[in-house]
Amino acid sequence: MYDVVLLTLGSERDAPGGGCGSGGACCGGTDEAAPASREERCETPRVPVLTCADALTARGARVTTVTARSDAEIDEVLARLDAPPRPDGLTWPDSDPKTRLVVATASDAQLRAVLRRLVRRYAPPPSRRPADLAEHRTVPDLPPVGVLPLDPARAGGRHDLAAQLGLPRDPAAVADAVLDGTARRLDLLRNDAGSVTLDGALLGAADEAGRPLHWRGRVEVDDAVLSAGDDPILACAVGNAGGYASLDGLPLLAGPDPADGVLEVAVAVPVVTRSALGRRKVRFEVRRARGRAVAVVPRDERVPFLDDGVAGELSRKRSWWIEPGAWAVWTN
């Protein structure tokens, strides 16, 4: 039977089972992709964790519950997923691990924080790229993780990745998936700031009255240029899954699939037309492209964005690229 680690994220100032503010591992506040991430509370109730632990124990699993309040403490848990030492000295995930990991998540940012540490642990330096790493990847197959949503009210919410993927939410069902389910492999977005994206990113913001603030920048997907930098952009969505498929009713991403091996990018720009009577009308044009990578070069000083629900500001070029099938979740 398996050893199972139930990992909950918190901050150093919180007791186990408490909430967390920005700046700790809980909300991904240490993520370089969001240096100005907003403060928020990520309540992590103990009941779902204890219920899942009891269900796992009843099935014969050896269960350890851990509350990590820093990246270092997350890394200590992830070390249990390591393969035996390799001749080349690289740290590598075990392809047949006897330890399985369940991440209790109050937000997608928490799950991303764990995946970011997995990537940092197992991604080899370019100078030491091994021959057994697939040509189209920079990381090996990451160990599957079980996802235990801690907030049932978020089911179906657009930022809830577990709901988008159709993952079980009941703690007992999560336990069954971890012990008897299958590993569903999913694409991962990496970026040149050293972070990862599971769902997607949305670049742009609105003023206090809710009116969109236009910004300018070059947006290029592989060889397709969606904006050369002269258009006033309402929003730019970089999608792996469908969390940012629409904005206030405006369809952005046409059909993002988190396992199709490509990312989808959409740019919404205002287009001014005039009626037969000469009246000025504004409609929004959405330009879309799919590809292996996207580069966004802001022309304005700072462009606000959300990346897996974590807020930040973009002040220089940022590139995202796809890692097909790099991570996986346990599902029934």
**Mind listing the pLDDT tens digit for each residue in 175-212?**
999 999 999 999 999 999 999 999 999 999 877 766 77
pLDDT band at 40 (very low <50, low <70, confident <90, very high): very low
Instruction: Give the CA diameter of the chain.
Output: 76
The residue extents of the domains of the chain are 3-189+327-331, 200-307
Instruction: Quote the Cα angle for 309-288-329, to 5°.
Output: 45
Indicate the pTM of the whole model. 0.86
Average pLDDT, the chain: 87
Contacts of 163 (CB under 8 A, 6+ apart): 149, 154, 155, 156, 157, 169
DSSP reduced 3-state for 236: strand
Q: Are 124 and 130 in contact (CB under 8 A)?
A: yes
Q: What is the pLDDT of residues 203-259, one digit of tens each?
A: 998 777 667 789 999 999 999 999 999 999 999 999 999 989 988 888 999 988 999
Rg (C-alpha) for the chain, rounded Å, is 21
Q: What is the pLDDT of residues 269-309, one digit of tens each?
A: 988 776 667 677 778 899 999 999 999 999 977 899 999 99
Query: Residue holding tokens 């919180």?
Result: 14
Report d(CA 23, CA 185) in Å as an integer.
30
CATH superfamily membership of 3-189+327-331: Probable inorganic polyphosphate/atp-NAD kinase; domain 1 (3.40.50.10330)
Q: What is the pLDDT of residues 299-316, one digit of tens each?
A: 977 899 999 999 999 999
Q: Is the pLDDT of residue 19 over 50?
A: no
* pLDDT of res. 18: 33
Q: Are 191 and 319 in contact (CB under 8 A)?
A: yes
> What DSSP designation does 181 have?
-
Q: Are 81 and 101 in contact (CB under 8 A)?
A: yes
DSSP 233-291: BSEEEEESSSTTSEETTEE--S---TTSS-EEEEEEEEEEEE-TT--EEEEEEEEEEEE
Angle of helix 171-180 relative to helix 46-58, nearest 10 degrees? 40
Report d(CA 200, CA 160) in Å as an integer.
11
- For the chain, give the percent of residues with pLDDT over 70: 85
Q: Are 152 and 162 in contact (CB under 8 A)?
A: no
* pLDDT of res. 154: 54
Between the two ends of the chain, the Cα-to-Cα distance in Å is: 18
- Average pLDDT rounded to a whole number, residues 257-263: 96
Contacts of 229 (CB under 8 A, 6+ apart): 216, 217, 218, 297, 299
Report d(CA 317, CA 296) in Å as an integer.
6
Q: Are strands 3-9 and 99-105 parallel, antiparallel or unpaired?
A: parallel
